[in-house]
A and B are shown apart, each in its own frame.
Chain A
């Protein structure tokens, strides 16, 4: 009797100890930390179906939010989706894993203009996801003048009819462009020159919105906007000729990319995911959902004519545009400048 009971307890103990291991036969996971509204569900489902890797998605709304959480949460994430200047900052601080391009054969699909850019000259840390520009979108029913650049938007004629990205660095870069300066020429001297320009601009702005600047344009609350090209592309796609996209002089582009943070627990799965989304047929799905400029040349071949003709997604002549560089602590000065001016 006693032995039976001992055996029983022993079996029970083994069962209890073995249970978690049996119940969860090392299921592979990928912790993806990405922009909200940027990774289609069907792409994630397709990846899980093919590889059996479960994808845990967490979203953010800005590079800065991502950085904050990444720095606090440490090595919780396997794959992040930073833009170019954030990649540069993270690489500088040694916070990114080096990619093994031999495990990402589809990297060859990325077009030459989107490789070896200043933020990652040796393509060591990042693979482009989508790219786009920042430009001017116009409601042609309301705005009859020709709008060529930022100065035309803020001529004073469209006071209270303008939406802009809620992004201090963007605003400073537009003011720099009207001075003929580069988007990265951010010095205290230049900021002093930018100040009176922004001082004239800010009272004319009706809405600041980075998440969905297309909403006030579509609702008729504003007639002009300085927005992400993808937002303009959606407006053009849905409203046709009513909206027009203008790429101003000295415009700049952004490269949203995938990168693996240092110490990522599932770097293998992350490599697999990167290679998966670089397949032309997968990349096409991303383009269909989010009509930014696809850096994947093979995927572009699969896109419908209408999308390739959308000038917000694919500006004529594929102009070579500047990208933001990491500016470190000067961010604080920019923030101060714009907060001050908005407060006046």
Chain B
């Protein structure tokens, strides 16, 4: 399995411009991207410079006000600029939350992917299927299942009380921990699969050579295995970090919506109470820019081969 990042890398600088057939083959992809990514993004860009009227309809008046608000400069009552980092703090919190999720996914996902990649062929398919089985059920249903497990009258608390480990129900649902559990659960497969792709391609003789030449297991891992599986890890990080940053359903359902994350705030601008599409667009554009920077940082300075 090739990882998305590996696909982006030109093969040994032998990249050719695609010929006519090549363009024809990727035309559907380009059309799809233009229709559902480029055009909507341009619409968002235009909206983000507009304002809303009394009823919430768009008013086309070019201003940077929405961006000032995102980055903490707002007009106070006298009309002067005042510093108000509310949305920057929300950005920061969302980054932290997505970052923690990503780290946990790497720590849990890497050993799993390693085991998968090294398993004998006969067992490997079964294990891979096990990783993918959760996708057969709707995401929302899986999240509601977590509510049933974690609530105070729920399965886990019932089990702990029955086994007399605790006497009073322990609040687990609607805590920041529950949000992280939900996020890690949802995105773990997106970490496992690309790392698995790298591990599977790893030539075992290279690892054996390292061990034969006197490297300890830790040294072999850090100096040989990790660099060789790096593309998979990086692809996994992008696949987990970016969606985790925008996720709002889990913090709604499992976190009780107590602390706003950037996804919640944006959703609230579009279909929630705030109904400020221009401001929501400005927040959305800011996220896009942030992701572009993250992507650029993640993909540059790749080893040449």
Contacts and interface: CB of A to CB of B under 8 A. Distances in A.
Please determine whether chains A and B interact with each other in the same assembly. yes
Interface of A: 60-62, 64-65, 67-68, 71, 89-90, 92-93, 95, 160, 163, 166-169, 205-209, 215-216, 218-221, 328-329, 331-332, 335, 339-340, 342-343
B56 A168 contact: no
B54 A220 contact: no
A93 B275 contact: no
Contacts of B57: 71
Contact of A209 (B154, B256, B270): B256
Given A67-B275, A219-B147, 13 more contacts: A62-B272, A65-B271, A71-B57, A163-B256, A167-B273, A209-B257, A216-B174, A220-B151, A220-B153, A220-B169, A221-B152, A340-B84, A343-B259
Contacts of B244: none
Interface string B254-277: 001111100001001011111111
- Which of B84, B154, B256, B268 has the largest count of A CB atoms less than 10 A from its CB? B256
Contacts of A90: 55
B216 interface: no
B63 to A, nearest CB: 15
B89 interface: yes
Interface in B103-151: 147, 151
B258 A208 contact: yes
B256 A216 contact: yes
Interface of B: 54-57, 84, 86, 89-90, 147, 151-154, 169, 171, 173-174, 256-260, 265, 268, 270-277
Nearest to A86: B55
Contacts of B270: 68
A168 B151 contact: no
Contacts of A61: 271
Given A68-B270, A206-B256, A219-B147, A343 B152 contact: no
A261 to B, nearest CB: 13
B276 A332 contact: yes
Contacts of B154: 219
Contacts of B258: 205-208, 342
A166 B271 CA distance: 13
Contact of A219 (B151, B260, B277): B151
A215 B147 contact: yes
B265 to A, nearest CB: 7
Given A62-B272, A71-B57, A168-B273, A343 B260 contact: yes
Q: Which 9 A-B pairs have the closest CB atoms?
A: A207-B256, A219-B151, A208-B257, A65-B271, A220-B153, A220-B152, A335-B274, A328-B54, A64-B275
18 contacts: A64-B271, A64-B274, A67-B56, A68-B56, A68-B270, A71-B55, A93-B55, A160-B171, A208-B258, A215-B147, A221-B151, A221-B153, A328-B55, A331-B274, A331-B275, A339-B260, A339-B274, A342-B259
Q: Which of B154, B173, B259, B265 has the most CB of A within 10 A?
A: B173
A207 to B, nearest CB: 4
A215 B169 CA distance: 17
B273 A335 contact: yes
A221 B86 contact: no
A68 B153 contact: no
Nearest to B57: A71
B168 to A, nearest CB: 11
Given A64-B275, A167-B273, A331-B273, A343 B90 contact: yes
A169 B256 contact: no
A221 B173 CA distance: 7
A264 to B, nearest CB: 18
B277 A340 contact: no
A221 B275 contact: no
Nearest to A66: B271
